[in-house]
Chain A
Amino acid sequence: MRVPYSSLREQFADSEAILRDIKGLLETTQFTLGPAVARFEAAFARICGARFAVGVGTGTDALFLSLKALGVGPGDEVITAANTFIATAGAIVAAGARPAFVDATDDFNIDPAGIERAITPRTRAIMPVHYAGQPARMGAILLIAAAHRLPVVEDACQAIGASVDGRLVSSFGVAAGFSLHPLKNLNVWGDGGVIVTSSEELDATLRLLRNHGLRNRDEVEIFGYNSRLDTLHAIVGNHLITEVEAITAARIRNARALDAGLLPLAPRVRIPARHANERHVFHLYMFEADDRDRLRAYLIERGVEAKIHYPVPLHLQPAGRRLGYREGDFPEAERQAKRIITLPVHQHLSQDQVDYMVEVVTDFYGTGSRR
């Protein structure tokens, strides 16, 4: 049996309706900030329960532009997780600031206690990551941010639809960045991103920044960037945004089935704690495993496309070491990096495929590890 990591082919097997709209776009040729973009932004804001959504070029740019709109720049520090996709730190560096990394808790989440310790007089913002689709500990983080009068920009790139105590991600910080990369729960046919905010002022600044700082065709208010969500992608997004609840529900269902199947394999397999008050949307299904590298090879050999998100924490990357970090700075993230593994959890998995993955992992620890 084959269990591919991504299900783009299934997702877009019947795309007549999308292609019809794209054909329509090629007739109107409103390729840049056309009406589909405004429609998508309104729908996106609605599902986030926020006032504004701004379509931008990428999730990376969503974080970068949020920082710029808040005035973050050279000499500033922005606190974020050491165990995230590189773009979180990349956006901070792109803004001219220095990423200050924080260790993870045992459920792969940014540790609020570490945030508190990382604050210096140069700290300008906190960027918690809703990693894998699990909301960060926003209650504790907001208290720290308020005490130090620091804005919070949520990295919600992997977490559309996630919530804590019924409160959706993007509603905690002053702004939140989302990615529409093809592998995300809500995806488009290329690169795209969205910034969600309920601040009218930030919304206005972000709209300027994404379009060269142009107030209108002729007047340049501030020097800006070119980071617009393509109309073409907004068209795709408009078709998929109505499906995001169903996609999320399917991923959660798959994750629960995997949890149930893998829990008995403790302690060789360690499923992170699930919190009843959180809605984890499972962009990634991650757990810790003994003998991880051999398990991964065993899974791949048997058709299961397992991955690692990510084998090297950011502070130990060549780019991160140049910031002065070294081995031992974030022991939990470093320990996890050697043990984490990611299984397919996409919405097109069948019950058979889920059962098969459990069976292969079980086999590995039953017989495979002794081969």
Chain B
Amino acid sequence: MTEPGRRVTYMDLPRQFADGEVVRRVAEEFSRCRFVLGPQVAEFESRFARLCGAAHAVGLNSGTDALFLALKALGAGAGDEVITVPNSFVATAGAIVMAGATPVFVDVNAEYLMDPAGLEDAITPRTRAIIPVHLTGNPADMDAVGAVASRHRLAVIEDAAQAVGASIGSRRVGSIGEAGAFSLFPLKNLGVAGDGGMLTTNSAAVADRVRLLRHHGLRNRDEVEVFGYNSRLDTLQAIVGDAVLAGVEQVAETRIRHAQLYDRALAPLAPHVIVPPRRAGVRQVFHTYVVQVEARDRLMPFLESRGVETKIHYPIPIHLQKAAESLGYKRGSFPVCEAQTGRILSLPVHEYLTDDDLEYVVAQLMEFYPR
């Protein structure tokens, strides 16, 4: 069933801004010429904190910086090790290196998430923190991770860059660990018109420390308490974020509905297409919809020829990147992650897809894999 001219794009960012609301707000607010911090940032922070069920949110320049500053605020630095997963976006490991620490990877489970079973073995006397990643918008097993962390007195920082609005039971991500790091990158479920990030925490001390660190360590205009950084969420981006935040629950609900439709329709394609297991009681927000497929190298161009844009998140795991050479890992270090890397495929799942689009994608997959 090919439909010439049919396009199912991976993202439809222009639609997000098509109603002109953001331009209207920017035009209205910029004339106040508050470009750095100020009340608009504070308001966006408090709405974001509420959204995550966290006591505090601090607006930063990027999701990477949110991880980095969380590590700095919790005292991770040179000589320390921080445990995370190798199948994340490189920024997770980048933030650890930036803090002066060494990333230590553990393998993942069938849901592409940190496998808590591998944690104990990865802990050394130098371990300082654990960064589970809520990859694809699916919360990591925070109970199991938290149990190991508290046994060894380690801080847990949630990499929630892809997971705004996700939850485990009644607990939203970003409110479970010592700190949560969110990205407001344009492609995210809550994206702004450039780079932006947010750190959430229930600790007043962590929030205060990160507020100092993001603004040169300045306690006030003239007093420098600590040497810090410059990592402020732009006021203009906070204005954009505030406008987008109003719709974020709806975005998540739509993506969840799309994912459920895919889940049902693709189940019969096993074992050619493997949908990861879904846990009850967990709200996944589907920043990405990732399945494992056979013959991916042929499938992707086939789908592209049918107008369906797909992606791979990510084709090279971090431990096999050139940047990681000095960390001493090799092929075979993380067999589950590596097996998934050769098979994962991200299908379009964004909020502007129609049921018809989704059915069209499913039909192409059905056609590709003969019964």
By a beta-carbon cutoff of 8 Å, the part of chain A in contact with chain B is 8-9, 12, 15, 19, 22-23, 25-29, 31-32, 57-61, 74, 85-87, 89-90, 93-94, 96, 181-182, 188-191, 212-214, 218-228, 230-233, 308, 310-312, 314, 317-320
Q: Give the chain B neighbours of A231 by CB distance below 8 A.
A: 194
Interface string of B248-264 (1 = CB under 8 A from A): 00000000000000000
Q: Give the chain B neighbours of A89 by CB distance below 8 A.
A: 227
Q: Give the chain B neighbours of A223 by CB distance below 8 A.
A: 90, 93-94, 97-98, 323-324
Instruction: Determine if B334 is an interface residue (Cβ-Cβ < 8 Å).
Output: no
**How far does the alpha carbon of A329 sit from the alpha carbon of B65 in the complex, in Å?**
35
> What are 22 A-B contacts defined by CB distance under 8 Å?
A12-B33, A26-B14, A29-B13, A57-B61, A58-B61, A60-B229, A85-B216, A86-B217, A86-B218, A94-B229, A182-B33, A190-B235, A212-B90, A212-B91, A213-B323, A218-B312, A219-B322, A226-B65, A226-B91, A227-B62, A232-B193, A232-B194
Instruction: Determine if B368 is an interface residue (Cβ-Cβ < 8 Å).
Output: no
Contact B234 A28 (CB under 8 A): no
Contact A87 B35 (CB under 8 A): no
**How far does the alpha carbon of A219 sit from the alpha carbon of B35 in the complex, in Å?**
35
Query: If A90-B228, A222-B323 touch, does A32 touch B194 (CB 8 Å cutoff)?
Result: yes
Query: If A96-B100, A225-B98 touch, does A57 touch B26 (CB 8 Å cutoff)?
Result: no
B258-301: which have CB < 8 Å to A? none
Q: Give the chain A neighbours of B36 by CB distance below 8 A.
A: 181-182, 190-191
Query: If A12-B30, A189-B35, A317-B223 touch, does A230 touch B234 (CB 8 Å cutoff)?
Result: yes
**How far does the alpha carbon of A293 sit from the alpha carbon of B100 in the complex, in Å?**
42
List the B residue with the shortest CB-CB distance to A208. B323
Q: Give the chain A neighbours of B223 by CB distance below 8 A.
A: 312, 317-318
Q: Give the chain A neighbours of B230 by CB distance below 8 A.
A: 57-61, 87, 90, 191
Contact A319 B225 (CB under 8 A): yes
Q: Give the chain B neighbours of A188 by CB distance below 8 A.
A: 35
Number of A-B contacts (CB under 8 A): 173
Instruction: Determine if B224 is an interface residue (Cβ-Cβ < 8 Å).
Output: yes
**How far does the alpha carbon of A325 sit from the alpha carbon of B100 in the complex, in Å?**
25
List the A residue with the shortest CB-CB distance to B94. A223
Closest CB in chain B relative to A174 CB, distance in Å: 22
Contact A225 B64 (CB under 8 A): yes
Interface string of B43-67 (1 = CB under 8 A from A): 0000000000000000001111100
Q: Give the chain A neighbours of B30 by CB distance below 8 A.
A: 12, 15, 19, 189
Q: Give the chain B neighbours of A228 by CB distance below 8 A.
A: 195
Closest CB in chain B relative to A78 CB, distance in Å: 13
By a beta-carbon cutoff of 8 Å, the part of chain B in contact with chain A is 13-14, 16-17, 22-23, 26-27, 30-31, 33, 35-36, 61-65, 78, 89-91, 93-94, 97-98, 100, 185-186, 192-195, 216-218, 222-232, 234-237, 312, 314-316, 318, 321-324
**How far does the alpha carbon of A287 sit from the alpha carbon of B185 in the complex, in Å?**
44
Residue in B16, B61, B314 whose beta carbon sits within 8 Å of that of A218 in the complex:
B314
Query: If A86-B217, A182-B36 touch, does A26 touch B17 (CB 8 Å cutoff)?
Result: yes
Closest CB in chain B relative to A322 CB, distance in Å: 8
Contact B237 A25 (CB under 8 A): no
**How far does the alpha carbon of A160 sit from the alpha carbon of B194 in the complex, in Å?**
25
Q: Give the chain A neighbours of B235 by CB distance below 8 A.
A: 190
**How far does the alpha carbon of A181 sit from the alpha carbon of B232 in the complex, in Å?**
12
**How far does the alpha carbon of A226 sit from the alpha carbon of B194 in the complex, in Å?**
12
**How far does the alpha carbon of A27 sit from the alpha carbon of B100 in the complex, in Å?**
40
**How far does the alpha carbon of A314 sit from the alpha carbon of B223 in the complex, in Å?**
9
Q: Count chain B CB atoms within 10 A of each CB in A19, A89, A191, A224 and give the residue with the most.
A: A191
Closest CB in chain B relative to A334 CB, distance in Å: 15
Q: Give the chain A neighbours of B192 by CB distance below 8 A.
A: 31
**How far does the alpha carbon of A26 sit from the alpha carbon of B314 in the complex, in Å?**
27
Q: Give the chain A neighbours of B195 by CB distance below 8 A.
A: 32, 57, 226, 228, 230
Contact A221 B216 (CB under 8 A): no
Contact A74 B33 (CB under 8 A): no
List the B residue with the shortest CB-CB distance to A311. B222
List the A residue with the shortest CB-CB distance to B321. A220
Contact A213 B90 (CB under 8 A): yes
Contact A31 B322 (CB under 8 A): no
Contact B314 A19 (CB under 8 A): no
Contact A191 B323 (CB under 8 A): no
Contact A189 B23 (CB under 8 A): no
Contact A319 B61 (CB under 8 A): no
Q: Give the chain B neighbours of A29 by CB distance below 8 A.
A: 13-14, 16-17, 186, 193
Contact A312 B222 (CB under 8 A): yes
